[in-house]
Amino acid sequence: MFKSNLVVQHKAHLVELFSSVQGEGVYVGERQIFVRFYGCHLKCHYCDTPESVTAQHTHGHQPKTFRFEQTPGQRDIEDIPNPTHDTPLADLVSHLDQPKGLHHSVAITGGEPLVHKNFLETFLPILKSNGYQTYLETSGDLAKPFNTIKNHIDMVAMDMKLPSVTKDREQWIEHREFLKVCIESNTTTFVKSVMNADTNVGDIIQAVKIIKTIDSTTPFIIQPMSSFGLAQNPPSPSQLLEWQKIAKEYISDVRVIPQCHKMMGQL
Ligand code: SF4
């Protein structure tokens, strides 16, 4: 039987590639290279990257180019044609990582990066062989694709979407399954939930109960929603303090961390 020697080259559409400070979660303040993929299977009410979300565009839309910052922190943007392949993209990451050692890790973000599973299967090993730590930002509901790339991921920033905030269907089963894969694979993981003034306390309790069942030491981050687009309903300081108190009745590591990069005027 004929066997082709053709190597399948996976490609992906990006939105941007740039250097900035991580503004969310337990790694807040770390300098990272952000690889932002185009495409997301969800449409959260509070999404602050609508340019990377499929549902925000006409059917079949894919960005023709992506923004590439050539020098860290300079915002000297060049438009690079989409789609991109794994090796050229890894070369751009290395180009941006100057001086060497400036960046803590490479943030794989979106959109939802896991919708690019096939691309990540070849791209992430190149990043790892180039010496980078990899940090996955994910909606935390796609356990199956994550399972195939988990060995190339060092850190996971996993969302738990609270239905009272997303205004979408609940995803507790998917979140439970995803966190289980993270913990069983010993991937350093924290969970964060965006909360607004309408957050249902029952949703918060459900989230921390899942964490408690799977690994009660996993940090849980309450992230107050930043005002953006349709999302104009941030929680009050007293709500945040009350929710932290309630969550700590179930697990010990519960922190309130707002989106710090926005306070700094960063991307
Ligand atoms: S999962 Fe993230 S990128 Fe996708 S719609 Fe929700 S907030 Fe936006």
Give me the pLDDT at residue 260, please: 84
Give me the pLDDT at residue 255, please: 98
At 149, list the tokens: 């790339």
Ligand 1 within 6 A of CB of 115? no
Question: Which residue numbers in the chain have pLDDT < 50?
Answer: 1-5
DSSP 228: B
Give me the pLDDT at residue 213, please: 98
Q: Residue 1 C-alpha to ligand 1 middle, in angstroms?
A: 45
Ligand 1 within 6 A of CB of 40? yes
Calpha distance 81→196 (Å, rounded): 37
For residue 14, give the H/E element and its range: strand 14-21
Give me the pLDDT at residue 267, please: 67
Structural domains of the chain sorted by starting position, each given as residue range(s) with its CATH number in brackets: 12-263 (3.20.20.70)
Q: Write the residue with the smallest CA distance to atom 5 of ligand 1.
A: 43
Q: Where are the alpha helices (DSSP H) in 161-225?
A: 163-166, 172-184, 201-215
Give me the pLDDT at residue 8, please: 60
Q: Write the residue with the smallest CA distance to atom 8 of ligand 1.
A: 47
0.85 exceeded by pTM: yes
Q: Residue 219 C-alpha to ligand 1 middle, in angstroms?
A: 21
**In this structure, are strands 14-21 and 31-37 parallel, antiparallel, or unpaired?**
antiparallel
Give me the pLDDT at residue 74, please: 95
What tens digit of pLDDT does each residue of 55-113 get? 888 888 999 999 999 999 999 999 999 999 999 999 999 999 999 999 999 999 999 99
Q: Residue 245 C-alpha to ligand 1 middle, in angstroms?
A: 27
Give me the pLDDT at residue 44, please: 86
Ligand 1 within 6 A of CB of 53? yes
Q: DSSP 3-state assignment of 252?
A: coil
